[in-house]
Structure 1
Amino acid sequence: MSELIISKLSKTYPNGIKALQDISLEIPKGMFGLLGPNGAGKSTLMRTIATLQEADQGTITLGGIDVLRQKNEIRKILGYLPQQFGLYPRISAETLLNHLAVLKGITNRSARKEMVDALLNKTNLYEVRKQNLSGYSGGMKQRFGIAQALLNNPQLLIVDEPTAGLDPVERNRFYNLLSEVGEDTVVILSTHIVDDVKELCNQMAIINQGQVLLKGNPIAIIKELEGMVYQKSIEKQELVQYRQEYQVLSERLFLGKPIIHIVSNQHPNNGFTAVEAALEDVYFSKINY
Structure 2
Amino acid sequence: MDKLIITDLSKTYQNGVKALQNVSLQIPTGMFGLLGPNGAGKSTLMRIIATLQEADCGSIQLGSLNILAQPNEVRKVLGYLPQQFGVYPALSPEMLLNHLAVLKGIINKNERKEIIHALLNKVNLYEVRKQKLGGFSGGMKQRFGIAQALLNNPKLLIVDEPTAGLDPVERNRFYNLLSEVGENTIVILSTHIVDDVKELCPRMAIINKGKVVIQGNPLQIMESLEGRLYEKTIQKNELEQYKTEYQVISDRLYLGNQIIHVLSDAHPGSTFKLIEANLEDVYMSQIFNA
TM-score, normalised to structure 1, is: 0.98
1:270 CA drift (Å): 4.4
In structure 1, the gaps of 5 or more residues are none
Report the more deviating stretch, 192-201 or 257-266.
Answer: 257-266
1:267 CA drift (Å): 2.6
- d(CA) in 1 for partners of 2:93 and 2:14? 39
Q: How does 1:43-82 map to 2 (within 5 A)?
A: 43-82=43-82
For 2:283, give the aligned amino acid.
Y
Match of 2:182 in 1: 182
Match of 2:152 in 1: 152
User: Equivalent pairs: percent with the same residue?
Assistant: 72
Q: How does 1:11-160 map to 2 (within 5 A)?
A: 11-160=11-160
1:273 CA drift (Å): 1.6
Match of 1:269 in 2: 269
RMSD over aligned Cα, in angstroms?
A: 0.8
- d(CA) in 1 for partners of 2:38 and 2:247? 23
Match of 1:228 in 2: 228
1:48 CA drift (Å): 0.1
Match of 2:201 in 1: 201
- d(CA) in 2 for partners of 1:195 and 1:257? 24
- d(CA) in 2 for partners of 1:23 and 1:68? 15
1:266 CA drift (Å): 3.0
- d(CA) in 2 for partners of 1:177 and 1:162? 12
1:276 CA drift (Å): 1.5
Give the 3-state SS of the residue equivalent to 1:251 in structure 2. Answer: strand
Aligned length: 289
For 1:107, give the aligned amino acid.
I
- d(CA) in 2 for partners of 1:96 and 1:58? 36
Report the more deviating stretch, 258-267 or 51-60.
Answer: 258-267
Deviations 1:58-89 (A, max 9, x none): 00011111000100100000000000001001
TM-score, normalised to structure 2, is: 0.98
Report the more deviating stretch, 84-93 or 248-257.
Answer: 248-257
Deviations 1:150-199 (A, max 9, x none): 00000000000000111111101000000000001111000000111111
Give the 3-state SS of the residue equivalent to 2:110 in structure 1. Answer: helix
1:227 CA drift (Å): 2.2
For 1:210, give the aligned amino acid.
G
1:257 CA drift (Å): 2.1
User: After TM superposition, which residue ranges in structure 1, 4 or more long, deviate above 3 angstroms?
Assistant: none
Give the 3-state SS of the residue equivalent to 1:106 in structure 2. Answer: coil
- d(CA) in 1 for partners of 2:126 and 2:272? 52
- d(CA) in 2 for partners of 1:85 and 1:130? 20
Deviations 1:3-49 (A, max 9, x none): 10000100000000000001111111100100000000000000000
For 2:259, give the aligned amino acid.
I
Q: How does 1:207-226 map to 2 (within 5 A)?
A: 207-226=207-226
Q: Structure 1 residue 244 and structure 2 residue 237: aligned?
A: no
